[in-house]
Amino acid sequence: MKAQELVKPIFSVKNVTMDFKVSKKGFFSKKSTIRALNDISFDLYPGESLAIVGESGCGKSTICRIAMKFYKPSSGEMFFENKNIHELKGEKLKSYRQKSQMIFQDPFSSLNPLHNVYYHLKRPLELYHPSDEETMYKKMDEYLTMVGLTPPKDQGEKFPHQLSGGQKQRAYIARVLAVGADVIFADEPTSMLDVSIRLGVLNLLNNLKKEMKKSFVYITHDIATARYFADRIIVLYAGHMVEWGDVDKVICNPKHPYTKLLVAAAPDPEREGVVDLPVVRDKDTEIRQWTPESKGCPFRTRCPVAQDICASKFPEAREVESGQFIRCIHG
């Protein structure tokens, strides 16, 4: 029996769909409906990292924004510790906001430029873990040391403009720890950092996962970092889960044509031989907007193995190998 079968998920997404009303060109034109997410479901377990991978515009960040209650889903539910997050109020909502935090893509706008690093850590400690001044500063120094900002007193007194991009992201991660988060939604946390310091931030997140049993939903377009950091992976296309499962199985033996495209496009010095890139059949290489009225497979216009049936039949989810699932009539 798998370990996950013995442990209850800390965060669950059940059949979430998200529609947005958008205006067409012209002041008097009617609004149309765009489906950003369609029937998204997954579980996240304590001490686990789940990567959600896909190109820009596929709906990755929308999942995080719903989890943070920026949006309310059009249908479906999200649960934290078996409680529907969109039904939480009062102290229960405050507890959820403490235990679930988000690391944003842009470290340069995550910190208030008018205040030093200590201030950003002190505020959540005062709100969620009040104590005397001496104890509070001791905790802040521990968090700064934990994320590699040393000596902590010197780093804590610095203002954001005195920190590098990597240091800003580490400072914000220290703030997330100060809040006391158990589930962390990391939305492209390294994409705006120099390549030379991305690995250091990923190693930091990995240590938090292993040593402090933090759970991560890791949003990225980089399938290589997903394999490095994640335990399981979801490949998202046009708001649809097209392939998901154990990260090594999905990346080393992809079954869906879109996953094969992502894997083939990622540099891998350990890869043996050449992976054939799927040929784009349609001149329009951008993700096509999906609506509630759309039919068929969302990837069909770019799929090299698409058939006529793909234009009318929405593929059902099926298990192709133990722990590996796809939505595709092929593979």
Cα distance between residue 198 and residue 318, in whole Å:
35
In a domain, 262, yes or no: yes
Model confidence at 289, pLDDT cuts 50, 70, 90, reads: confident
Question: Taking a C-beta distance cutoff of 8 angstroms, is the pair 12, 44 a contact?
Answer: yes
Model pLDDT, residue 301:
87
Give CA–CA dist 299/235, Å, rounded.
12
Angstrom distances, CA of residue 45 to CA of 6, 81, 184, 219, 262: 10, 10, 12, 16, 26
Residue 224 host element (H or E): helix 223-229
Once rounded to an integer, what is the mean pLDDT over residues 211-230?
94
Q: Which domain holds residue 112?
A: 3-22+33-116+179-327
> Is 166 part of a structural domain of the chain?
no
Instruction: Tell me the per-residue pLDDT of 39-57, one tens digit each, with 9 for 90 and over.
Output: 999 999 999 999 999 998 8
Placement of tokens 């044509």 in the chain: 257
CATH at 279: 3.40.50.300
- The values of phi and psi at residue 153, to 5°, are -65, -45
Helix axes 165-179, 195-212, angle to 10 degrees: 20
Of 20-34, 196-210, 287-301, the least confident: 20-34
Tell me if 204 is assigned to some domain.
yes
Asked if the structure places residue 66 within a domain, the reply is: yes
Residue 290 domain-assigned (yes or no):
yes
In-domain check, residue 52:
yes
Q: Does 173 fall in a domain?
A: no
- Residue 155 covered by a domain: no
The tally of domains found in the chain comes to: 1
**Tokens found for residue 290:** 């999906």
Checking if the pLDDT of 1 tops 50, the result is no
